[in-house]
Amino acid sequence: MDHSLFLILAATLGLILGSFATCAAHRLATGGSLTSPARSFCPACGHTLTWRENIPLAGWLLQGGRCRFCRARIPLRYPLSELACALFALAAATVFGFGWPFLVAVGFGTLLLVLSLIDLQTWLLPDVLTLPGAGLALLASTLLPHAHTLGIGWRAGLLGAAVGGGGLWLMAWAYRRIRGEDGLGLGDAKLMLLVGALLGPVAVPLTLFAGAVLALPMGLVAARRAAQEGEGTGAGEGLRTALPFGPFLCAGAAAFLLAGPQFLHWWLGRP
């Protein structure tokens, strides 16, 4: 296949999957069904979207970011998620080329996007996605030919799952025993079970590190805002803030999937 045509098709696929991801995340986060109703609708008024309104990214732009029927604002997360998924698909096309590894990479990238959107809305990472996702990740590691960060083999997949899921579970258990409260959710452990099964044990600490680095600025902003609110109410002492960590872990995992070996070479000073 012509490379330019492949990139266009990859970006188009990413836009379509990004649109699906936002729809799926909203429905699952609000307790809805993925299959009913069959067509997308405006969350504000229930208006069933036409095919023109449902065109990824372009539909939002043509409508000026508002529902054509009730004029309610369409949340910015819809076009941003579609754009992010398209950019990820383009990057995956460049890294993996045409073939099964590209499709698997885009599929798991979409799953990570769905999980991120749900966690941002509900602070939960649903088992119905993380646990089957971990099983599919191990299957992909076993069956795919080795290509970049995918197809690592079932032994590395099992070890990665044990390090990712088991390591975070132990951290959450230890934190609760020491502090008497939850610090990490078990949903994060199940997410890292998936990441480890797909990308192997080396990806686990790097994903955690990347997630912590990405979360730090947001955490500082949230802490400053909470401190200011606490000063206004006289409740600033001992005030704590929390952020859903899942989206940052998903971003770290997606980055490793695309550029893990290059980062390791740079970190270790290898040519």
Query: pLDDT tens for residues 148-190?
Result: 999 999 999 999 999 999 988 888 788 777 877 666 678 999 9
User: For position 34, what pLDDT does the model report?
Assistant: 72
User: For position 121, what pLDDT does the model report?
Assistant: 92
User: For position 211, what pLDDT does the model report?
Assistant: 92
Give the pair of three-digit tokens for residue 156: 């590395």
Give the pTM. Answer: 0.89
User: For position 71, what pLDDT does the model report?
Assistant: 82
User: For position 238, what pLDDT does the model report?
Assistant: 41
User: For position 79, what pLDDT does the model report?
Assistant: 92
User: For position 232, what pLDDT does the model report?
Assistant: 55
Q: Which residues of the chain have pLDDT under 50?
A: 235-239
Residues 31-45: tens digit of each pLDDT:
877 766 667 777 777
User: For position 62, what pLDDT does the model report?
Assistant: 82
3-state secondary structure at position 245: coil
4: burial class by Cβ within 10 Å (0-12, 13-18, 19+)? exposed
